Amino acid sequence: MAEAVADPIQRTANLALPGLARDARPYRIALLSDIHIGNRAMQPARLQKIVAAVNAARPDLIVITGDFVNGDSGKLASDPRELITPLRQLVAPDGVIATMGNHDHWTDLASVEAALRQAGVTLLSNQAIRAGPLVVLGLDDRYTDHADVPTTAARARAMGGIPIAINHSPDLAEELPDNVALLLAGHTHCGQVVLPIIGSLAPIFGKLVGDRHYYLPQYQCGIVRDGKRSTVVTAGLGSGSIPLRIGAPPDWWLVTLSAPQP
């Protein structure tokens, strides 16, 4: 329990993004995910403290990649309204944008959407939005078969800007167009329970139950580079249905994007 409620680690990444002008100032994105409000590991007071730490980093844009709540089979285990007051305090010049996760789709999506609207969070469901020099492809949840890459990519092309993507599931990277050089994601909890020698129990469990949408192990955590694309996978802030983390502390990322060096 202690690791699950610890202050999240602020991790940093400095990435070159093709298309950024050499004289452009670095662009900073805060990546948050897997809040899972309402269980013993995530109460509004803890989330409010995390929000203050994110604001102190002064990002240009804040993205939240799903799993705002807990629950399954249409049954909410938490109240989405508890998100409103903490998330309303997030501040970034280019706003706060979000995509949904599997727990959000499994439960009461309309209630989660309503809470996010009241908190001033812009929800993207297979839509694109301009943010500074970027166009952000906000893809709906892949795990529950709601992601529509072709439609979202077409909408982004019509807007212009340098494309990056956000999604709950990191292995969506393998479905993205080649011109999308960055994906920001969560979902994996960085394994949640990671044991010596054995490693994470999550992929093992996913394989045992025949879950074809469980994340690919190579996308479990951190920065994954595949050719010209980088995928940043956060461990997330909460801990899902079980308030437990071992060897996979909560975190969030401050990703700084700069022009490639000549």
The confidence band for 243, taking pLDDT boundaries of 50, 70 and 90, is confident
Within a 13 Å sphere around the CA of 35, how many CA atoms are in the beta-carbon half?
33
- Cα 42 to Cα 203: distance, rounded to the nearest angstrom: 24
Share of the chain above pLDDT 90, in %: 74
pLDDT of res. 203: 66
The confidence band for 216, taking pLDDT boundaries of 50, 70 and 90, is confident
pLDDT tens digits along 97-148: 999 999 999 999 999 999 999 999 999 999 999 999 999 999 999 999 999 9
Please compute the mean of the pLDDT values over residues 209-218 and round it to a whole number.
63
Strands (E), 100-179: 122-123, 127-131, 134-138, 162-166
Neighbours of 89 (CB within 10 A): 14
Quick check: 82 and 37 in contact, CB under 8 A? yes
The residue behind tokens 């940093």 is 12
Quick check: 194 and 248 in contact, CB under 8 A? yes
pLDDT(50) > 60: yes
Lowest mean pLDDT among 1-15, 23-37, 215-229: 215-229
pLDDT(205) > 70: no
pLDDT of res. 39: 83
Sequence-separated (6 or more) residues with CB below 8 Å from residue 117 = 123
Burial of 167 (0-12, 13-18, 19+ CB in 10 A): buried
Write out the two tokens for 172: 């969506």
pLDDT of res. 196: 82
Share of the chain above pLDDT 70, in %: 92
Grouping H, G, I as helix, E, B as strand and the rest as coil, residue 37 is coil
Please compute the mean of the pLDDT values over residues 207-221 and round it to a whole number.
68
pLDDT(73) > 90: no
- Cα 96 to Cα 73: distance, rounded to the nearest angstrom: 29
3-state SS track over 54-73 = HHHCCCCEEEEECCCCCEEC
pLDDT(80) > 80: yes
The confidence band for 15, taking pLDDT boundaries of 50, 70 and 90, is very high
pLDDT(244) > 90: no
Please compute the mean of the pLDDT values over residues 221-231 and round it to a whole number.
93
- In whole angstroms, how far apart are CA 201 and each of 41, 95, 142, 244? 20, 36, 21, 13
pLDDT(65) > 90: yes
Nearest to 136, CA basis, from 153, 116, 121: 153
pLDDT of res. 36: 95
